[in-house]
C-alpha cells in the first residue's frame, strides 16, 4: 500500500548505479525527491530525467536531493546517466522491494494488455523524513516545475 502525505517515508537500502548501497534515512536533514519511473532510455523517462537534470541546480539550492528509482540494473543506470549527463543518483530496484514499500508496482493496462509495471510517481520528502507531497500525474517535460510549485 502506498504511503500518504504526512506519513514518515518508508526507509530502505538499495544499490545505486555503482552498486553502492543508498539508504533513504542517510538524507535526513535534506529534502528528497524520490521519483519512480518505468525504464531507462525510454522517451518519457528520458524527458523526465533531463527535465530534473536541467533544473538540478535550482533544486539543489532549495535543499533537494534527487533519487530516481526503477527496476533497471546498475549497468543500465550507468549508461542512462552517461548518455544524458544526469547529476543525480539512480537506484536499481531489480527486486522491486522499494517499489513495494511505496506502492508503485501495480497492474497497468496498455493497448488492451494487462501487466505489472512501475506507476510513474514522485514522493517529495521533507528534512524530517515525512512525505510532504505525492505527484501522481507527472508531467515528464515539466516535472521540476511541479515539484517547485
Q: Which residues are catalytic?
A: 45
* C-beta separation of 38 from 104 below 8 A: no
Residue 17's CB is within 10 A of a number of other CB atoms, namely: 25
- Enter the C-alpha cell of residue 69: 528509482
Question: Residues 106-123, buried b or exposed e (16+ Cβ, 10 A)?
Answer: eeeeeeeeeeebbbbbbb
Cβ–Cβ < 8 Å for 47, 140: yes
Contact yes or no for 13/22 (Cβ under 8 A): yes
Amino acid at each position: 500500500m502506498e504511503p500518504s502525505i504526512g506519513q514518515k517515508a518508508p526507509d530502505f537500502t538499495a544499490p545505486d548505479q555503482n552498486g553502492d548501497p543508498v539508504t533513504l534515512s542517510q538524507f535526513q536533514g535534506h529534502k528528497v525527491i524520490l521519483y519512480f519511473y518505468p525504464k531507462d532510455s525510454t522517451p518519457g523517462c528520458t524527458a523526465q530525467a533531463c527535465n530534473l537534470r536541467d533544473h538540478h541546480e535550482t533544486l539543489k539550492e532549495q535543499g533537494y536531493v534527487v533519487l530516481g528509482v526503477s527496476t533497471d540494473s546498475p549497468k543500465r543506470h550507468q549508461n542512462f546517466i552517461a548518455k544524458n549527463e544526469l547529476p543525480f543518483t539512480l537506484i536499481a530496484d531489480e527486486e522491486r522491494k522499494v517499489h513495494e514499500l511505496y506502492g508503485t508496482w501495480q497492474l497497468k493496462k496498455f493497448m488492451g494488455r494487462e501487466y505489472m509495471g512501475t506507476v510513474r510517481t514522485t514522493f517529495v520528502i521533507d528534512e524530517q523524513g515525512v512525505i510532504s507531497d505525492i505527484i501522481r500525474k507527472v508531467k515528464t517535460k515539466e516535472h521540476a516545475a511541479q515539484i517547485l510549485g
